[in-house]
Structure 1
Amino acid sequence: MQNFTFHNPTRIIFGEGQIAALDVHIPRNARVLITFGGGSIKSNGVLAQVQTALGERAWYVFGGIEPNPTYETLMQAVQLAHEKGIDFLLAVGGGSVIDGTKFIAAALKFDGEPWDILAKQADVRDAMPFGSVLTLPATGSEMNNGGVISHRAKGDKLPFRSDATYPLFSVLDPTTTYSLPPRQIANGVVDAFVHIVEQYLTYPVDAKVQDRFAEGLLITLTEVGPQALAEPHNYAVRANLMWTATLALNGLIGTGVPQDWATHMLGHEITALHGLDHAQTLAIVLPAMLNVRRDPKRAKLLQYAERVWNLTEGSEDERISAAITATRTFFERMSIGTRLSDYQIGGQSISTLISKLEEHGMTALGEHGDVTLEVSRQVYQFAA
């Protein structure tokens, strides 16, 4: 196991009715900006619960944060926060809203051009305090310090992270997910699954706790994912899905082990160029990535095949192929396409995708730094 330091300061407030706890965890004299996405929190009653919990506090709302939050939209929120004298942010939504709110929090305290936080990975030393009310289990953003932001004009989608951008708290009420459309639930399951794989499917370092934890989370997703689509009001299923997605990316299973993230980087470029959902790009890239990199990942692929998919028969190559096929089949069972052609995207866009990877410095990705532009091209071609 590799050396590590683990620290996660986010308080999790879990369970039905817990939105009322906002009254305890937000300062009573706070001027609050509520950030959200498309407005479903108005129709499903979540916004009303939040407003009731805020009581007599001064609050304002900023909606319209996109599924892939854009710099242009978020800077409008920064301007509003300045105008209203906001001193606390409350993200109400899924990972995109929380990611966007992290950027807003950082930009409000940043001395300089906020896009530099992403384009130049400028150091973020301070951020406005914020919390979240999670309504879509997927990204784990509710309990980590990272985010991914797009720049519409530039066609870029870039990540950032800072110790200053952990949520102070996150409220996880599984009942808030009942009204989600199947596509969003499916996306959340795939997103969480690939988050786990990026930290697990690398090479062995004898990290037994992290491996078993990751495998347990993966198995849980294979069980509750289809159930979540079939039984949208099953509290136990939605509770397990919500907590699994949080644990998938709160830092715990990634401590002391090598991590990959090449699938995410290639996926980001597909989203930036073609506008696909984040999870859709992951479902496209991951099976292709595993096929192309099956030799450097051989030991963990065999472990994955046995422990997650119960594949113990046949040669090593046959088991690896069967595990990759099982992964693809699971994504498709969640009604998410796993090839570029499923989204009417032809191979002619691959050169543009590679150019963007090069522009963003993504030329030595993966746990070994051996995912070159040529390897990335092979992955895109395999995913076509």
Structure 2
Amino acid sequence: MLNFEYYNPVNLVFGRGQIAKLSKLIPQNAKVLMVYGGGSIFKNGVHEQVASALEKHTVVEFKGVEPNPRYETLMKAVKVVKEENIDFVLAVGGGSVIDGVKFISAAANFEGDATEILRKRLRIEDNALPFGTVLTLPATGSEMNSGSVVTIEATQEKLPFGGPALFPQFSICDPSVVASLPVRQVQNGVVDAFTHVLEQYITYPHDAILQDRIAEGILQTLVEVGPKVAENPSDYTLAANFMWSCTMALNGLIQKGVPTDWATHMIGHELTALYEIDHARTLAIIAPNLYRVMFDTKKEKLAQYGQRVWGINADTIEEGAAMAIEKTVQFFHAMGMDTKLSGYTPEYEKTADFIVNRFEERGWKALGERQNITPDKVKAIVELSY
């Protein structure tokens, strides 16, 4: 097992009716900026619950954080923070809103060009504005980690950053909110979480036995509840297990002591930046083809995944690994995903060259757990996804 440190200070407040605890979780004298996306929190009653809980606080609202939050929009919120002397930021939404608030928190006291936070992937270790979250869409796990991804619209770049100062002080997770979500968003959440686990699990054999078993348990749970919760999001038991699986998929626990990949995400981010394809759907496009191109170095873990998660009993490692990839594709299809880029845009033929050029410009020439996903491999992965 690799050496590791595990630090996660997030106070996770889970279950029905927990939004009412906001009044005690945020300091009474804090001036709060409530940040959210569109109007869904008004339709599902979450805004009313938050407003009621914070009736004794001074609250300023900022609306309009997009899916795949834009740097340009978030800088408007940073301006509000400074003009209104905000003490605390509250994200009310899904992963995009929470990621956006992490950037607001980092940029509020940042001196200089805030795009450097993204382009230089600065590690934010201090001087961040305190914030908390009310989760309305399970998917990214951003409610219990210190990472974020933000899009610079002007250059069509979707870039990750993070740091220990960007853990939420608390996150309220009420599974009841799942009942009001559109089917597409539930499907996206299941596949997003599923792929988060795969990125930390399908690498190469190692001796972190417990991490493997926890990862497999999350995957098995998502396989069991994913299609059901998409069909019946008002089932609280299904919603609760779905929400908790999304959080556990990316709160740092299963990645400790193990090699991790994340190349699927790095390539997928480019598809979102270029074509506005939902994040989870880019992962469903890229992941199976990355496993096909990198088959020789991933086949042992693919076979283990196939046996433990899908119950595949094959005669050879190669056969088991290949069957595991196909089972994954079938699951993505069952969750409403198109696994081909051509299903989303007719202008896909130059995508591989564009992404490879962009990666080379950034110096991203060695991705993956073995640093063996080179530009030629990226090109092959994307072209196989057409």
TM-score category, normalised to shorter length:
over 0.9
* Structure 2, unaligned runs of 5 or more: none
Pairwise CA distance, 1:250? 0.3
Deviations 1:143-191 (A, max 9, x none): 0000000000011110001110000000000011211100100000000
**Contact 2:183/2:231 (8 A) holds in 1:** no
What SS does the corresponding residue of 2:32 show, helix, strand or coil? strand
- Whether 1:25 aligns to 2:35 is no
Question: 1:339 matched to which residue of 2?
Answer: 340
- Whether 1:220 aligns to 2:212 is no
Q: For residue 353 of structure 2, what is the amino acid of its counterpart?
A: S
Question: 2:384 matched to which residue of 1?
Answer: 382
Q: 1:372 and 1:216 mapped to 2: Cα distance?
A: 31
Deviations 1:233-258 (A, max 9, x none): 10000000000000000000000000
Q: 2:187 and 2:177 mapped to 1: Cα distance?
A: 16
- Whether 1:10 aligns to 2:28 is no
What SS does the corresponding residue of 1:35 show, helix, strand or coil? strand
Question: 1:82 matched to which residue of 2?
Answer: 82
What SS does the corresponding residue of 1:42 show, helix, strand or coil? helix
**Contact 1:269/1:357 (8 A) holds in 2:** no
- Whether 1:171 aligns to 2:172 is yes
Pairwise CA distance, 1:122? 2.9
- Comparing 245-254 and 360-369, the one that deviates more: 360-369
Q: 2:366 and 2:191 mapped to 1: Cα distance?
A: 25
Q: For residue 342 of structure 1, what is the amino acid of its counterpart?
A: G
Question: 1:355 matched to which residue of 2?
Answer: 357
Pairwise CA distance, 1:68? 0.5
- Whether 1:296 aligns to 2:297 is yes
Q: 1:59 and 1:119 mapped to 2: Cα distance?
A: 32
Pairwise CA distance, 1:55? 1.9
- Comparing 133-142 and 345-354, the one that deviates more: 345-354
Q: 2:127 and 2:328 mapped to 1: Cα distance?
A: 40
Pairwise CA distance, 1:107? 0.2
CA gap of 1:132–1:357, structure 2 versus 1, over 3 A, is same
**Contact 1:265/1:362 (8 A) holds in 2:** no
- TM-score (ref. length: structure 1): 0.98
What SS does the corresponding residue of 1:284 show, helix, strand or coil? helix
Pairwise CA distance, 1:109? 1.6
Question: 1:101 matched to which residue of 2?
Answer: 101
Count the aligned residue pairs. Answer: 384
What SS does the corresponding residue of 1:62 show, helix, strand or coil? strand
Percent identity, aligned pairs only? 51
Pairwise CA distance, 1:204? 1.5
Q: 1:330 and 1:361 mapped to 2: Cα distance?
A: 34
Question: 2:48 matched to which residue of 1?
Answer: 48
Pairwise CA distance, 1:77? 0.4
Pairwise CA distance, 1:362? 2.0
Q: For residue 116 of structure 2, what is the amino acid of its counterpart?
A: D
- Whether 1:251 aligns to 2:255 is no
- TM-score (ref. length: structure 2): 0.98
What are the residue-to-residue correspondences of 1:105-116 with 2, within 5 Å?
105-116=105-116
Q: For residue 298 of structure 2, what is the amino acid of its counterpart?
A: K
Q: For residue 15 of structure 2, what is the amino acid of its counterpart?
A: G
Q: 2:162 and 2:123 mapped to 1: Cα distance?
A: 9
Pairwise CA distance, 1:123? 4.0
Q: For residue 365 of structure 2, what is the amino acid of its counterpart?
A: T
Q: 1:337 and 1:174 mapped to 2: Cα distance?
A: 27
Q: 1:234 and 1:127 mapped to 2: Cα distance?
A: 38
What SS does the corresponding residue of 1:202 show, helix, strand or coil? coil
- Whether 1:203 aligns to 2:225 is no
Q: 1:18 and 1:173 mapped to 2: Cα distance?
A: 7
What SS does the corresponding residue of 1:178 show, helix, strand or coil? helix
Deviations 1:87-121 (A, max 9, x none): 10000000000000000000002122111011112
What SS does the corresponding residue of 1:158 show, helix, strand or coil? strand
Q: 1:261 and 1:242 mapped to 2: Cα distance?
A: 22
- Comparing 77-86 and 136-145, the one that deviates more: 77-86
Pairwise CA distance, 1:13? 0.2
